[in-house]
Amino acid sequence: MTAYGVSSMFFHEYTSGEIFSNISKAGLDGIEYWLETPHFWLRDLPSEEVIACRRAHPEISTFSVHTPVLDLNPCSINPDVAEISVAYAVRSLEMAQALGAGVLTVHPGRRTAKRPPGDADRARFDHYIAALREAALKDTVTVAIENMEPAVNSLICTPERMREVLDAEPWLRFTLDTSHALASSEGTVMEYIDLCGDRLANVHLSRAGNGRLHLPLDHSQVIARILESLRDHHYRGALMLEIDDLNFPKPLPAEEKCAILAQDLSFMRKCMEPD
């Protein structure tokens, strides 16, 4: 059965307890908890607090984790940056296991310079994947790598490249970010589903438009067609709304954020569970 959730970063300024409570109020039953959620990240990663939140909200039954990415890059040309980024990805898998997550989403990294990736960049990527592989084979958490928006220095931003990586790594799964793919075209999203849908473990759901990513669904017919395609491909994993609250003209109170989520939840259900 499909789970409907949201990234914890939509409630960027709130405590973990408030985040769980607001997600519950919105009617969602899933959360993708970013380890960089400020209340968690800036307080030495108090895992016991998140575990307590999970126990206090059994209605939020689907729980996944997003590895730190905001100022990390496992494929950085700076060896110290690359080393700590790989180490955090491996540590994230250990934390996801301890928190009881089903899926850990990771980013592929990027070439530091805004130039096409070369052999050295691909070698750094291979090292990163090897470290994740070694850790993943010891744990029960599913590791899913996310497609990035089109950029000259991106290591995975096409369906063909994603398929190539998945074929090379049978243990690895796929997180589809619809907004990143929509930065290319609606057709690109459909290609990801067609080519890589058999390895799909997680979906980050949001719109793209007017040069902005991670917008609310807002009854978009493009999103409706994407959800129909996921349904037709028998996807039954989580749909995690990934909405950037900085896209709004002013800061939103929690009540308005919950209302946006409730509206998008109703739309997702209508598309995924037609009468």
Over residues 169-216, the pLDDT tens digits come to 999 999 999 999 999 999 999 999 999 999 999 999 999 999 999 999
Supply the pLDDT for residue 139.
Answer: 83
Average pLDDT over residues 255-259: 98
Question: Stretch 128-140: mean pLDDT, rounded?
Answer: 94
Mean pLDDT of the chain: 97
pLDDT value of residue 102: 97
Residue 275 reports pLDDT greater than 90: no
For the chain, percent of residues with pLDDT exceeding 70: 100
Q: How much is the average pLDDT of 16-42?
A: 98
* pLDDT of the residue at 274: 76
Residue 227 binned pLDDT confidence (cut-offs 50, 70, 90): very high
| Rounded (5°) CA angle 158-104-94 | 140
On whether the pTM is more than 0.85, the answer is yes
> Could you read off the pLDDT of 46-63 as tens digits, one per residue?
999 999 999 999 999 999
Say what the pLDDT of residue 1 is: 77
